[in-house]
Amino acid sequence: MGKVIAITNQKGGVGKTTTAVNLSACLAYIGKRTLLIDCDPQGNSTSGYGFEKDDYELSVYDCLVDPEKLRDAILKTKYDGLYLIPSAAALSAAEIELALEDDRERFLKKAIDKVKDEFDYIIIDAPPALGMITINIMTACDSVLIPIQCEYYALEGLSQLVGTIRKIKKAYNRRIEIEGVLGTMYDGRTNLSIQVLDEVKKYFPDLVYKSIIPRNVRLSEAPSFGEPIIEYDRTSKGADAYMSLAKELVRKNGG
């Protein structure tokens, strides 16, 4: 059975998409069959692999409307063992459409369950909001990986996020747990980054990954080439860091 990991933090710009794209590429690189589901209507994970959102007959939106369609929505990337379900602008309408349905929190879960045993890892890139899509994501996943930007206001909103996870656990998904907390855009030359990471470790004892993602310009350049960092610049610090994260995550999950 594959493990479904959602990359969540309702704050924008903290490195969710960068982590979703590069973690899944590294997982595939180390031999894990991986599916990335782009659940952000902005579709940055989709373009991060060089796909155009809205270019495909089926997107994650269609899978939410009709779970039977999920298998047909899967695109093969040019990397071995790495697959993508693209986003589409239409996904933003799902926020409202889902709210009107019975069983509205389970649509994504129903869809993912159909292919769960065909992958080692299913990674979900989440939108920067705590709406119906995020509730569907949290109901469908086994765990959440929380990226935290090592800068001002990093801890802002975290208690709300943890509160939401707790509520989801009670109401919809008893399995859900925090997979890990990832420091991103870390700059070891500044006291601020060091202090923020210390605060995060106090807030989440034992959950913070040893792997830390540095601020690295190569990571911000790679998406405009439609490539994950291990393809764009394998020798960069960013590539090292995401490879180290993938290995740490796999190790924590028993290999």
Binding site for ligand ADP (CB under 6 A): 12-18, 44, 128, 184-185, 213, 215-216, 219-220, 223, 238
Cβ proximity to ligand ADP, 7 vs 28, nearer residue: 7
The entry of Mg ion, ligand ADP, none that residue 24 binds, CB within 5 to 8 Å by partner kind: none
Nearest-approach distance from CB 185 to ligand ADP, in angstroms: 5
The residues that touch Mg ion, with contacts defined as CB under 5 A, are: 16-17, 44
Cβ proximity to Mg ion, 13 vs 188, nearer residue: 13
* Dist CA 134 CA 187 (whole Å): 30
Q: Is 231 helix (H, G, I), strand (E, B) or coil?
A: helix
Nearest-approach distance from CB 222 to ligand ADP, in angstroms: 8
Cβ proximity to ligand ADP, 44 vs 244, nearer residue: 44
| Helix residue spans in the chain (DSSP H) | 16-29, 44-48, 60-65, 70-73, 91-99, 107-113, 132-140, 158-171, 191-203, 217-221, 229-232, 237-252
- Residue with smallest beta-carbon separation from Mg ion: 17
Nearest-approach distance from CB 103 to Mg ion, in angstroms: 27
Neighbours of 146 (CB within 10 A): 24
Cβ proximity to ligand ADP, 25 vs 115, nearer residue: 25
**In one letter, which amino acid is 166?**
R
* Dist CA 194 CA 208 (whole Å): 13
Neighbours of 14 (CB within 10 A): 24
Cβ proximity to Mg ion, 87 vs 173, nearer residue: 87
The entry of ligand ADP, Mg ion, none that residue 86 binds, CB within 5 to 8 Å by partner kind: none
Cβ proximity to Mg ion, 43 vs 81, nearer residue: 43
Neighbours of 156 (CB within 10 A): 9
The entry of ligand ADP, Mg ion, none that residue 184 binds, CB within 5 to 8 Å by partner kind: ligand ADP
Nearest-approach distance from CB 118 to ligand ADP, in angstroms: 26
Neighbours of 163 (CB within 10 A): 11
Backbone angles phi, psi at 163, to 5 degrees: -65, -40
Nearest-approach distance from CB 66 to ligand ADP, in angstroms: 27
Neighbouring residues of 28: CB distance < 8 A, sequence distance ≥ 6: 34, 79, 80, 81, 82
Nearest-approach distance from CB 4 to ligand ADP, in angstroms: 18
